[in-house]
Amino acid sequence: MKIVSYNVNGIRAAMNKGLIDWLIKEDPDIICFQEIKALEDQINISEFESIGFKYNYWFSAQKKGYSGVAILSKHEPIHVEYGTGISYMDFEGRNLRLDFEEFSVMSLYLPSGTNLDRLEFKLNYMDDFLAYIKELNSKIKNLIIAGDYNICHKAIDIHDPIRNKNVSGFLPVEREWLQKFIDSGFIDSFREYNSNPHQYSWWTYRANARANNKGWRIDYIMVSSHLKNKLNDAEILNDIVHSDHCPITIRLKN
């Protein structure tokens, strides 16, 4: 069972850059998209269905061309949950969950704190989301929460921790929150298999950052500790270039 998470920075733009051909080669069972920036009726869904993703679910922001998440699956879920029930989160289309017999997978797109107003929004969102997840985790033991968290966890996860120490995405309060999230019962899947530095999932388009690997690891597939024995592998696919992010993957044992 292969699960992929990918902030595509616009699903239509990524499709124009060869996303479908890549999905055929990668052959995941489930893919979680973030930042789709489109309404469902603006997307040629038949292209995904034609390559095996018969079950596809889209949760767009109310604001056109903004945010939005999706999950595409080759396996039928037993339940689909759109949003969190917390209205200010759901207006921006940031959470979508599919429940299967053996596990549940959520596509998550946490806000970025690009200015003071959005930073306050992000911090409020983080607090409310953690409370939501703690309650959900008490009911659903095998959660997988995949997506763009917009936070680097540790200094190893960012190319210049000194200069970025006061930048949203690497603020102490954000990093502490991510540790609390992990401590609530989750595994940072990638770090289970790779402790090397310079492993990033996002690069600014400025200053040739990607070519110079001046990046941030802000995309995670967090796996419930109850699934630890099922976890088989986790990777960052940093050579895939449909977006300013790259895909990340996990494999689960049958």
pLDDT, tens digit, for every residue of 76-89?
999 999 999 999 99
Q: Could you tell me the two tokens for 24?
A: 């055929």
Q: What is the pLDDT of residues 161-182, one digit of tens each?
A: 999 999 999 999 999 999 999 9
- Determine the pLDDT at residue 1: 95
Q: Map out the domains of the chain with their CATH numbers.
A: 2-252 (3.60.10.10)
Q: What's the mean pLDDT in 171-195?
A: 98
- Number of alpha helices (DSSP H) and beta strands (DSSP E) in the chain: 7, 12
User: Cα(111)–Cα(128) distance, rounded to whole angstroms?
Assistant: 13
Q: In what order do the strands lie in the sheet with 231-236?
A: 55-59, 69-73, 30-34, 2-7, 248-252, 231-236
Residue 254 predicted with pLDDT over 90: no
User: Cα(141)–Cα(227) distance, rounded to whole angstroms?
Assistant: 8
Average pLDDT, the chain: 97
Q: Tell me, yes or no, if 148 is annotated catalytic.
A: yes
User: Cα(244)–Cα(239) distance, rounded to whole angstroms?
Assistant: 11
Residues 6+ apart with CB under 8 A from 55: 72, 73, 74, 75, 76, 77, 98
**What percent of the chain has pLDDT above 70?**
100
- Determine the pLDDT at residue 167: 96
Confidence tier at 154 by pLDDT (50, 70, 90)? very high
Confidence tier at 54 by pLDDT (50, 70, 90)? very high
Marked catalytic residue, from 148, 157, 188, 219: 148
Structure pTM? 0.98
User: Cα(154)–Cα(199) distance, rounded to whole angstroms?
Assistant: 12
Residue 113 predicted with pLDDT over 90: yes
Question: Is the CB of residue 156 less than 8 Å from the CB of residue 198?
Answer: no
